[in-house]
Chains A and B, each alone.
Chain A
Amino acid sequence: MMVAREPSILFDPARCVGCVACSQVCPTKAIRVAAGCAVVKPELCIDCDACIRACRYDAVQARLSSPADLARFKYKVAIPSMTLYAQFGRDIHPSQVLHGLTRLGFDRAYDMSWMNEMVAGAIDASFSEMEGPWPKISVTCPAIVRLVQVRYPDLLANLVQIETPRELAAKVLRRRVAAEQHLDPQDIGIFFITPCTAIMNSIVAPVGLEQSNLDGAFAISEICGPLQKAMKLGGAEERDDQISRAGIRWAMSGGELMGMRNTNTMSVHSLRDVQYVFDHLEAGKFQSVDLIEAYICPDGCISGGLTIEGRYAAGRNLQHIGRRLGTQSLIKEEKVRSLMREHFFDLEEEIKARAVRPVAQDLRRAIALERERQELLARLPGKDCAACGAPDCATLVEDTLRNEANIDDCIFLRLARCEEAAAKRGEGSP
């Protein structure tokens, strides 16, 4: 069953000035500006964070977990995205970050870099058994999965059928914590510390599995300040030596492919490039590629909309932190293979299309509508000024055809009518 998606972003009416910067960058044309404030159409939103980056007034808020959500659980666990490690300069050890989190209301924080390395190994090892169509597309970035569901349903069969490391890590850790702390698994709250808004919907309305193993998510941008203070208090002298260098690279573009030995890979990042490549995939191109790592953010997770450190600095930080971890592999190939035999890594459910309701069902009606669309479009000035509330003229036409807007919302059409009326009254233009 598909759970209804709620928008993963909210616009703060007190801050939003209705400037349309967000609606114009939205790749799926999901934002409308009405009465001076932006609203998002959840069925179209793919959680790409483009609006968050574009907003100059800090008016776009991510819908994430609250402290009240945390309080529901007896035992609170944090699993940070690798991106969190990249927020505090070059000279920290991930153990300091994990320890810092335990001073912010979490009973325990766990690293998941080892699971990244395991999943990379599983993807690599399972290539020989995978069937076409090629190339396969990684499912790590939830916004990519949603983009495929909404805009490229043809490519659903190309998605890698292996669960994400964050879900698998949460699954394993829930069992482990329950056993170690003698707790009912339901009393354990596992929260992801996220660089982007896309994670939240992957928890609330997951795809590929019935129910998420995570209980919520907090933004890196919200947690960074208090965490920095907490880290200064020290107390993390004991260093976790089970942190995977290959695993922490997953936060950067290309990182996921580092562990691939047997496959011909390609890394694609930033929305525009992803759309370019997906368009070509639909046309049957890139057939010689086995695996595409795709991220909606310009440089992978380190450039997520909910991060503090800029992506170039974050990338350097992470590389430096990784270098000091040493190069040894923590993962035994035999372990990965035996887990594969147990289907540990497999997606539980098929990922289905999330088609946007078509305007017309039958071909004749659709073509008649297309003519109407072109006629309406010809009446509009084509300036894409967005003053009507839709991001561009074509979207105003689309909304008009769906009876969700009126072509006369166009200020240029209104102006022309005013001038016409004035001319009729014999007053002329002022």
Chain B
Amino acid sequence: MNENRWSTGESCVSWEDAEILYSESFRIVGDDFEHGGEAAAKIKAKLKQFGLDAAIIRRLSIANFEAEMNVIMYAREAEMQLQVLPNAVRVILSDRGQGIPDIEQALQEGYSTATPQMRQRGFGAGLGLPNIKRNTDEFEIVSTPGVGTTLRYTIHLQN
């Protein structure tokens, strides 16, 4: 399996050791434009209830929305998992789908593989992954063409 891997940002929490205070998963279905953005909205509502800083919620919501719409446009289905750690919030999004053949290219602003139909819906500006990168402190993409993609992004909480 030729797995593509890309990551940025310095981890502030060791992945294995971090205590997960809260985790919840949301299912996203490909092509389901009708419910597009709902997982992001539910996560936002939950984080508001936890009393997290508004700026952090805003950044994560932007990343979540972009990631969710990517699944709806390109993948068959995915699970979006929210994890709240003592000093970070993290989202792990694993999809079953076509995968990303060239991650560096997909991360370039303006690069898009959106179809004319997607563009008609107002998507396909080529800002999805760059927007996730811009709004998170850690971002990792692992993708296997033909199998699927896993995004993992984290925002640090200032204590």
A residues with CB within 8 A of B: 153-154, 279-280, 282-285, 358, 360-361, 363-364, 366-367, 370, 373
Contacts and interface: CB of A to CB of B under 8 A. Distances in A.
Nearest to B50: A366
Contacts of B37: 280, 283
Nearest to B55: A154
B49 interface: yes
Interface of A is mostly: helix
A364 B86 CA distance: 8
Q: Which 3 A-B pairs have the closest CB atoms?
A: A284-B62, A366-B50, A283-B65
Interface stretch (B7-15, B39-47, B113-121, B144-152): B39-47
Contacts of A279: 41, 44
Contacts of A154: 54-55, 57-58
Given A282-B58, A361-B51, A367 B65 contact: no
Contact of B51 (A280, A282, A358): A358
Interface in B33-78: 37, 40-41, 44, 46, 49-52, 54-55, 57-58, 61-62, 64-65
Interface residues on B, range: 20 to 34
A399 B57 CA distance: 25
Given A360-B51, A370-B22, A283 B40 contact: yes
Given A283-B40, A370-B46, A363 B21 contact: yes
Contacts of A280: 37
Interface of B is mostly: helix
A370 B50 contact: yes
A360 B55 CA distance: 19
Contacts of B50: 363, 366-367, 370
B65 A284 contact: yes
B52 A363 contact: yes
A284 B62 CA distance: 6
Contacts of A364: 21, 86
A366 B51 contact: yes
A284 B57 CA distance: 11
Nearest to B41: A279
Contacts of B100: none
B52 A283 contact: no
Given A154-B54, A370-B22, 18 more contacts: A153-B54, A279-B41, A282-B44, A282-B58, A283-B40, A283-B41, A283-B44, A283-B65, A284-B62, A284-B131, A360-B51, A363-B21, A363-B51, A366-B49, A367-B50, A370-B46, A370-B50, A373-B49
A100 B40 CA distance: 54
Contacts of B46: 370
Contacts of B84: 363, 367
26 contacts: A153-B54, A154-B55, A154-B58, A279-B41, A280-B37, A282-B58, A283-B37, A283-B40, A283-B41, A283-B61, A283-B65, A284-B58, A284-B65, A360-B51, A361-B51, A363-B21, A363-B51, A363-B52, A363-B157, A366-B49, A367-B21, A367-B50, A370-B22, A370-B49, A370-B50, A373-B49
B158 to A, nearest CB: 12
B52 to A, nearest CB: 7
B35 to A, nearest CB: 14
A363 B86 CA distance: 8
Nearest to B46: A370
A396 to B, nearest CB: 16
Contacts of A360: 51
B118 to A, nearest CB: 16
A283 B54 CA distance: 11
B62 to A, nearest CB: 4
A280 B136 CA distance: 19
Contacts of A366: 49-51
Contacts of B64: 283
Nearest to A362: B51
Contacts of A282: 44, 58, 61
Nearest to A279: B41
